[in-house]
């Protein structure tokens, strides 16, 4: 069992360094997540399976259980709450379709959420109006990797008109994409492109998530390797 598991690790390394072009394998994925992949292999080789497990969680948030999301409103944005909730559900459905599994769900009342989305009439940074933004954090707690996010989304366009459901949905899906580990897309017309108020995106293509799906698959395989190795050593 040990040699099989070990050779599996080498096979993955070989795929990274030789068979597949590294730059395109994890296209559009944050460097931080790819680093967890590289480091997790070192953890396994060192016998630190607990940390390797945690890193595989960070590489594929929402894959073993949905990421829980709490929706909050500033007082002045409460009037847009029906549209906002509909947009949140729409963004969840977009990600569910793209990743072929339920990736996000609303948190229960007594549940501590992984992600908070705060709706405000205006979101700006350094004087520039934004559709929204996210601050995310990823940390290792024992053998578990925890991903959190704080998202803010505006409900009123800079011209004073309410954001439409499609506009809100694109913005929310975009920020959730960062939580999942995607970078901004410099092209136009993609979920990870900046929101174009005149042309919000309503689907996430297979190409948009190809790099992320590759990383998630690698995380799954690494987890199995770590599991096999730790079993064989009696952990």
Summarize as ranges the residues that interact with Zn ion (CB under 5 A): 184
39 vs 183, beta carbon nearer Zn ion: 183
Distances (CA, A) of 38 to 42, 52, 82, 136, 140: 7, 10, 43, 21, 16
User: Is residue 32 a contact partner of residue 136, using CB atoms and an 8 Å limit?
Assistant: no
Cβ neighbours of residue 140 under 8 Å, at least 6 residues apart? Answer: 51, 54, 55, 58, 146
Nearest distance from residue 175's CB to Zn ion, in Å? 7
42 vs 184, beta carbon nearer Zn ion: 184
Nearest distance from residue 2's CB to Zn ion, in Å? 43
16 vs 163, beta carbon nearer Zn ion: 163
Nearest distance from residue 192's CB to Zn ion, in Å? 7
71 vs 182, beta carbon nearer Zn ion: 182
Nearest distance from residue 183's CB to Zn ion, in Å? 8
Task: Return d(Cα 161, Cα 57) in angstroms, integer.
Answer: 40
Query: What angle (nearest 5°) sits at the alpha carbon of residue 227, between those of residues 45 and 13?
Result: 45
**And the tokens for 203?**
């689907």
């Amino acid at each position: 069992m040990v040699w099989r598991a070990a050779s599996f690790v080498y096979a993955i390394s070989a795929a990274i360094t030789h068979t597949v072009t590294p730059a395109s394998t994890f296209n559009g994925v944050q460097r931080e997540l790819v680093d967890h992949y590289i480091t997790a292999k070192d953890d396994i080789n060192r016998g630190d399976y607990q940390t390797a497990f945690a890193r595989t969680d960070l590489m594929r948030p929402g894959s073993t259980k949905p990421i829980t999301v709490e929706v909050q409103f500033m007082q002045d944005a409460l009037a847009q709450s029906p549209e906002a909730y509909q947009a949140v559900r729409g963004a969840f459905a977009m990600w569910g379709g793209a990743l072929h599994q339920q990736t996000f769900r609303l948190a229960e009342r007594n549940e501590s959420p992984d992600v908070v989305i705060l709706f405000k009439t205006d979101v700006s940074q350094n004087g520039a109006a934004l559709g929204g933004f996210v601050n995310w954090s990823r940390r290792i707690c024992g053998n578990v990797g925890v991903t959190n996010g704080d998202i803010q989304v505006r409900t009123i366009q800079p011209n004073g008109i309410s954001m439409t459901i499609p506009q809100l949905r694109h913005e929310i899906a975009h920020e959730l994409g960062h939580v999942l580990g995607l970078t901004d897309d410099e092209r136009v017309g993609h979920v990870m492109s900046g929101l174009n108020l005149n042309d919000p995106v309503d689907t996430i293509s297979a190409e948009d998530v190809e790099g992320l799906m590759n990383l998630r698959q690698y995380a799954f395989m690494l987890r199995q390797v770590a599991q096999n190795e730790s079993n064989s050593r009696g952990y």
